Chains A and B, each alone.
Chain A
């Protein structure tokens, strides 16, 4: 049982490039979310999903796309990277209200 697995752990992008952060969970959780954490800041919700085929926007969705084709996977796509997207990205999954949220180890992204 690996929990929530994110890849890559570290990535440097040039402005304008696109990339996908991968997230997979093996706990059969319905709910999955992506957060970003800027230095010294809190966790801000980017996008979330309540099940396969269902996604919605969080607090800071601009510049990001998500999809949920399976229960296990929830990739985050940066469409055209900007320096403002330099951050640590956390994927999370949980089974619903009142249940523990499990986070991945984080992906450190730098956009130059």
Chain B
């Protein structure tokens, strides 16, 4: 089955700087890679996703890149703001494993004022 590894587990950056979170996956058939943000005490919510036919996707200050050959994908947050402080989760799925979504272990991002 799919295995997703996420690094780092914690990340502290100065407000205004960039943050990068990386995930690797094991199943070469995976074709969908979402990122979820979970604020303290809240439910995880989708912030951006990418499909395997695309190498990069941007949405304002966040972007996701995908390297299918190396089987890794990354979340990039630029010009970080206090409201970016949260736990971020990655996931990978394929048509055959779509029902069994396995998430990475999460990254706790803290933005220092």
Contact = CB atoms under 8 A, between A and B. Distances in A.
B89 A42 contact: yes
Interface string B62-76: 000000000000000
B98 A106 contact: no
B99 A31 contact: yes
Contact of B105 (A41, A45, A48): A41
Interface string A21-54: 0000000000101010000111101001110000
User: For B36, B44, B49, B94, which residue has the most chain A Cβ atoms within 10 angstroms?
Assistant: B44
Contact of B46 (A40, A43, A101, A105): A101
On chain A, which size bracket covers the interface?
20 to 34
Interface stretch (A12-20, A76-84, A92-100): A92-100
Nearest to B1: A59
Given A42-B89, A42-B106, A97-B93, A90 B99 contact: no
Interface residues of B, number: 27
Interface of B: 6, 31-32, 34, 36, 42-46, 49, 51, 89, 91, 93-95, 98-106, 108
Nearest to B104: A42
B93 A58 contact: no
Contact of B34 (A43, A49, A101): A101
Contacts of B36: 101
A35 B51 CA distance: 24
Nearest to B97: A97
A56 to B, nearest CB: 7
A104 interface: yes
Contacts of B46: 100-101
Contacts of B104: 42
A97 B94 contact: yes
Contact of A97 (B31, B43, B102): B31
